[in-house]
Structure 1
Amino acid sequence: MNQKLFFTALIVLFVLSGVSHYGHWGTIPEFILSALAILFVAGFLGKATESVAHYAGQRLGGFLNATFGNAAELIIAIFLVRAGEFEMVKASITGSIIGNLLLVLGLSVLLGGLKYKEQTFNVQLAGHNSSLMILAVIALFIPAIFVSAEHFSIDQDRTLSISIAAILIIAYILWLIFSMITHKSILADEEVTTPDHGEEPAWSKTMSIVFLVVATVMTALVSEWLVHTLDSFSERFSLSAIFVGAFLIAIVGNAAEHSAAILLAMKNKIGAAVEIAVGSSLQIALFVAPVLVFVSMLFGETMDLVFTTIELAAIGVAVFIATSISRDGRTNWYEGALLLCVYVILGFAFYLV
C-alpha cells in the first residue's frame, strides 16, 4: 500500500470510528470500525517509530519501537482498569506477552528465514533476554501460588502484588541502565549490510517526532472507542473475557510490532526484530503490568497480579519455547513455524474456555 493510500484509509477509518462511537451506530459496526482504525493507527505509529529509530540507532530504535508499539495496549489497558475490567486486563497482558513471543517473533523469524537461510544476533543479548523472561514468569507465578496455597486475605494479596510490581519496575529500570549504558557495547549487534538497508526514512527527524506524538494521541482516542464496545461484543458472540483480552485485543494492539519487526527481519536485521518482539514482551511483563497495578490505585480499587492457571500456563509455555529457540542467537524459518504452531494451539484452547 503506497503512502498516500495508507494515509487516506487511516483518516477515513479514524473519522468513521469516531462518528460511529459518538453516533451510537451499534456494537458490531463500532467494534469493526474501531478495530480497523486501530490497525491503521498502530501502523502509523509503527512507521513514525521506525523513522525515529533510523536516527536513534538499531538497539535504541528497537527499544523505541517496542515502547511506542506498546502504547496502544497500555492505553487500552488503562481504560479497562478505569472500568474495573481487571480480568480482561490480565488476559490482555497475557495475550500481549504470548502474542509478541509467539506471533510477532514467529512471523519475523519465519519470513526472515525464508529470505535468508540463517540469521544471527547478539548471543549475550539473547541470554540476558532469556533470564529476564524467566524472571517475569517467576514474578507472575509467585502471587498465584502463595495467594492460593496460603489463603491470603485481600489486604495480603494487594500488599504482595504492590511489592512485586515495585520490584519489577526497579528490575526493568536497572536492565535499561545495564543494556543501554554500562554494557551497551557488549550487547550491540554488528551492522549487517545488504542492498536494501540504505533507504532513507520517510520523514525528517522533527517530522518523525511530531508524527509519533500525533499517532500516540490517535491511538488513545481509538483505544477508548474500542474498549467501549468490548462488553457487548463479547456477550453478542458468547466470547469469554479471557479470549477477547488474550487474542482479539492483543492482536489488534500488537499491529505496530507486527509490521515493524517483520520488515526488519526481512531486511536481515533480526537483532532489531528480536529487540522489538522479545523486548516488547519484557516491557509488558516487567513494566506495563506493574504500572497498571499503581494506576488502578488511582481509580480507588487495586488490581492484583494474581493470574489464572491457564494464563500462567500460556505465559510459561511461550517463554519456554521462545527461550529455547532464541538462546543461541541464531534463527531459521523452521523455528518461526514452531513458534506459530504453539500460538495456534493456545488460540484454540483459549477459544474453547
Structure 2
Amino acid sequence: MSMIVNVLWPFVPAAITIHFARPDLHVWIFALNYIAMVPTANLLGFAGGELAKKLPKVLGVLMETTLSSVVEIVLFMILIHNDNNNNLIPVIQAAILGSILANLLLCLGLCFFAGGLRRNEQVFHEAVSEVGSGLLLVAGFGLLIPSAFYSALSGSATTGTFTPEELISNTRKISRATSIILLVAFLMFMWFNLRSHHSIFDEVLEQDEAEDEDRSKELKRAKLTFTECIIAIAIALTCVCMSAVFLVQEISYIVERGVPDNFMGLILVPLVEKAAEHLTAIDEAWDNQINFALFHCLGPSIQTALLNAPLVVIVGWGLGKDMDLNFEIFMIVLLVLSILVVGNFLRDGKSNYMEGGLCVLVYVIIAVTTWYYPNPHEGTTNVQIPMGEGHGH
C-alpha cells in the first residue's frame, strides 16, 4: 500500500516550482503541496521503519512514531511562527485534536477493518491496549481542563466578578502549567516503555512478528543500509518542511475561500500529516501484526497529546503568542467521547471489522459536523470573549 503512494512523487517538484513561479495561484499551491506531503511523509515513515529494524524492538517502534510526528511538530511550529493576531491559533488547536481523532477513529478503525476482513477476529495484548487507552484518557482530561475552567467562568467574567482580561490571562497560565505537567507525563511514558517495562513490550512485538503473514515476502525484500536510512530521512524531512511552509502560507487564503478554520485544522491538516503512519499501521493489521498496528495508532496519539501540544504552547509562550489549551468545548467533547469509545473497544483485547467500520463512520460524522461548525472569529466560541465589554458578541 505504501509503495502505491510513490506514484505521487512528481507532485513534489511541481509543488515547489509553482510556489516560486506563480505565487498568486493560492488554491493550486495549497492543493499541490497538500498532495506532495503524502509521498514525502511516506518516505520518512519507510526510512524510519527501516532504521527501527536496526534498533531494539520497542526503541525502534518509538523511534518510528517520533520520526513521523516530526512532520506534525514542523507543521505546528510553522503555524505558530506565521501566526498574526491569533489568526492561525484556532487551526493549531483544531489540528492538535484532529490529529488524535484521526489516529484513534480513522486509523485504528481502518486497522480493525482491514485485519478483520481476513479473519474472524484479531487478538491483541492487554499491555499495549491498557497502557495506551489509560494514558490517552489522562491526556484527554489534561487537555480538557483549561477549556472547562474557561467555559465555567466565562459567564462570571461578564457580570463583574472579574474582568475578561483576567480570565483569559488565568486560562493561559493554567494552559502553560498543564503543558509542563503533560511533558513530565510524556517522559514517564518513555521511561516506562524503554526502561522499566520494555521486556513486556519486546515480548509482545516479537510474538507479533512471528505471526506476520507477510514474513516470507519481507525476508526477500532488500532493505536500506543505515547510511541510506539517514540520507532518505534527511531528504524526506527537507521536502516535508518545504511543503509544510508553503502549505501554511496558503491557509489564510483557503479559509477566505470558504473552508472553515475548524475543518482545516481538525480534518484536512491531520489527514495529510498522518497519511504515511496510517498506511504503515493498516498494512501491519492486514498482515496480522495487530500489536504493531496498535502501537502505531496509540503511540502517535499519546505523543501528540503529551509532547506536541504542550511543546507548541511553550514555544508560543516563548514567542509571545497567545497559544493556549483553551479548545472549543464542542471539539474537546468529541475527543473525550472518542477516547472512551476506543477504550471500550480495546477492553476485551479483540477486534473485528465491524468495530473498525463503526470507528470510521463516527469519524465521517465528525468531519461532516465540523464543516458546518462556525469559525471562532464569528463569536460562537469559548476561545474569545468580549474584551472589557459587559456582554457577549
- Give the TM interval when normalised to the shorter protein: over 0.9
Report the counterpart of residue 237 of structure 2 in structure 1.
216
1:185 aligns with 2:199: yes
User: 1:164 maps to what in 2?
Assistant: 178
Query: Matches of 1:146 and 1:67 in 2, distance apart?
Result: 31
- Counterpart of 1:196 in structure 2: which amino acid? D
What displacement does 1:9 show? 4.2
Q: Counterparts in 2 of 1:335-346, with a 5 A limit?
A: 335-346=355-366
CA contact (8 A) 2:8 2:35 kept: no
Q: Distance in 1 between matches of 2:237 and 2:366?
A: 30
Give the ranges of 4+ consecutive aligned residues of structure 1 lying more than 4 Å apart after TM superposition: 5-9
The answer to whether the 8 Å contact 2:281/2:296 transfers is yes
Contact 2:123 2:349 in 1 (8 A): yes
2:309 is aligned with what amino acid?
A
Alignment CA distance shift 1:63-1:215 (3 Å): same
C-alpha distance in 2 between matches for 1:213 and 1:330? 38
The corresponding residue for 1:270 is 290
Cα drift, residue 83 of structure 1:
1.9
Cα distance in 1 between the residues matched to 2:263 and 2:334: 12
Question: Alpha carbons of 1:165 and 1:225: their partners in 2 closer, same or farther (altered >3 Å)?
Answer: same
Whole-Å separation in 2 of the counterparts to 1:105 and 1:112? 10
* CA RMSD in angstroms, aligned pairs only: 1.9
Specify whether residues 207 and 37 from structure 1 end up closer, same or farther in structure 2 by C-alpha distance, changes over 3 A only: same
Note the alpha carbon deviations across 1:200-247, whole angstroms, 9 max, x for none. Answer: 4531222112212221221111111111111111221x1210111100
Equivalent pair of 1:59/1:272 in contact (CA under 8 Å): no
What's 1:144 paired with? 147
Measured in 1, the distance between the counterparts of 2:40 and 2:212 equals: 30
- Identify which of 118, 123, 132 aligns with 1:120: 123
CA distance in 2, matches of 1:9, 1:308: 35
Instruction: State which structure, 1 or 2, has the greater radius of gyration over its C-alpha atoms.
Output: 2
Is the 1:171–1:286 contact (alpha carbons within 8 Å) kept by the matching residues of 2? yes
TM-score (structure 1 length as normaliser)? 0.93
Contact 1:96/1:284 (8 A) holds in 2: yes
Q: 2:382 — aligned with what?
A: none
CA contact (8 A) 2:80 2:89 kept: yes
What is the aligned partner in structure 1 of residue 168 from structure 2?
154
Alpha-carbon distance between aligned partners in 1 of 2:52 and 2:15, rounded to the nearest angstrom:
29
- CA deviations over 1:44-96 (Å, ceiling 9, x no partner): 11211221222235433332232222222221111111122111000111110
Deviation of 1:193 (Å): 2.9
What is residue 46 of structure 1 aligned with on the other side?
45
Task: Give identity over the alignment, percent.
Answer: 29
Aligned to 1:83: 82
Q: Give me the whole-angstrom Cα distance separating, in 2, the residues matched to 1:6 and 1:309.
A: 36
Contact 2:124/2:350 (8 A) holds in 1? yes
3-state SS of paired residue (2:288) = coil
2:99 to 96, 101, 115: 96
Deviations 1:148-199 (A, max 9, x none): 3235533322221111000000111111101221011123312333452241
Contact 1:102 1:340 in 2 (8 A): yes
- Give the gaps of 5 or more residues in structure 2: 155-165, 374-393
Shift of residue 328, structure 1, vs aligned partner = 2.7
Return closer, same or farther for 1:138/1:2 CA change in 2, 3 Å cut-off: closer
In 1: Cα distance, 2:334 partner to 2:223 partner = 38
2:20 to 19, 22, 43: 22
How many matched pairs?
A: 350
Unaligned runs of 5+ in 1: none
**CA deviation profile, 1:231-282 (whole Å, cap 9, x unmatched):** 111221x121011110011111111111111111111111111111111111
